[in-house]
Amino acid sequence: MLKINNLHASVEDKNILKGINLEVKPGEVHAIMGPNGSGKSTLASVIAGKEEYEVQEGEILLENENIDDLAAEERAHKGVFLSFQYPVEIPGVSVTNFMKTAINETRKAKGLEEMPANEMLKLIREKSELLEIDRKFLSRSLNEGFSGGEKKRNEIFQMAMLEPKLAILDETDSGLDIDALRIVANGVNKLKSKDNAVIVITHYQRLLDYIVPDYVHVLYNGRIVKSGGKELAHELEEKGYDWIKEEINA
């Protein structure tokens, strides 16, 4: 599904990613953990195609196709989805209208007709129930005045609507109370299949109790310095990141 080879990326001449290698196969869940400032969010943004980041070396392959030169929307059309750590407020555009536009633009890019209005409504109803989202919520301006939990639920709602092949959840657990966390994780788990993959970026192990990873990677100083199974997350939760830093520096 996703193969990252020796990826180096920088923003404003500052090197952030310094040689990432990662392979994610269909049906897998990968967790990327690491201390603040290690490059986790940068990795997510680079995969999603944020233009401020410059890839200096290496490549990102999605289903064996190099996506380095593709615009963010083209990557989205190919099935990449990024759940934002800080979803952007867009006053004046309702959640519903935003989703309609996103879905129909994606369909257009694939040469499909626009989705009929009744089908769209049905889909919205079905997916909003999955995330326990109130109908009234859907006519509000996108993310404007949403609580932290509402924003994150809305991100996963969008994921549910777009049905991506590769979903990257960037700190989706931050700002969530336990109920919201459960709803969000439940949503992600229901959307999981043998054909899609999920990368969970998180600082804490808490979310991984609900979205159970097949692999856990530790990102430190722009590199993946340790990989393991789900038990690695527990170890990090108990011991923190210092022992890893020491291991590297030794």
Report, in Å, the least distance between residue 249 CB and other proteins: 35
User: Which phi and psi angles does 196 have, rounded to 5°?
Assistant: -115, 170
CB of 169 to other proteins, least distance (A): 13
> Which part of the chain contacts other proteins (CB under 8 A), choosing from 5-13, 34-42, 104-112, 229-237?
104-112
Under rule CB under 8 A, residue 77 binds other proteins: yes
For 64, how many CA atoms within 13 A lie in the half-sphere containing its CB?
Answer: 0
Compute the Cα dihedral for 204, 209, 211, 213 and give only its sign: positive
**Cα–Cα dist 187/171, whole Å:** 16
Structure tokens belonging to residue 190: 């229901």
Name the DSSP class of 206: G
Residues 164-223 that bind other proteins (CB under 8 A): none
Least CB distance from residue 176 to other proteins, whole Å?
A: 19
The span of 16-24, 42-50, 178-186, 226-234 binding other proteins (CB under 8 A) equals 42-50
The Cα 24–Cα 239 span in angstroms is 27
Binding range to other proteins, per CB under 8 A, among 21-29, 34-42, 72-80, 121-129? 72-80
Site residues (CB under 8 A) for other proteins, limited to 141-170: 141, 158, 162
Q: Closest separation between CB of residue 40 and other proteins, Å? A: 17
Task: Determine, following the binding rule CB under 8 A, whether residue 42 of this chain makes contact with other proteins.
Answer: no
Q: Work out how close the CB of 233 gets to other proteins at its nearest, in angstroms, rounded to a whole number.
A: 27
Cα 52 to chain centroid, rounded: 18
Alpha-carbon distance of 97 to 163, in angstroms, equals 18
Answer whether 92's CB lies under 8 Å from 36's CB.
no
Q: Find, among 84, 78, 50, the residue nearest to 154 by Cα.
A: 84
- The least CB distance from residue 221 to other proteins, in Å, is 25
Q: Show the tokens assigned to 90.
A: 């867009």
Closest CA to 138 of 122, 125, 152: 125
Q: Decide if residue 88 touches other proteins (CB under 8 A).
A: yes
139 binds other proteins (CB under 8 A): no
Q: Which of residues 2-41 bind other proteins (CB under 8 A)?
A: none
Which of residues 5, 21, 104, 221 is near other proteins by CB under 8 A?
104
Strands (E), 34-89: 53-62, 65-66, 80-83
Residues of the shown chain interacting with other proteins in the complex, contacts defined by CB under 8 A: 48-52, 71-73, 75-77, 80-82, 84, 87-93, 97-98, 100-106, 109, 114, 141, 158, 162
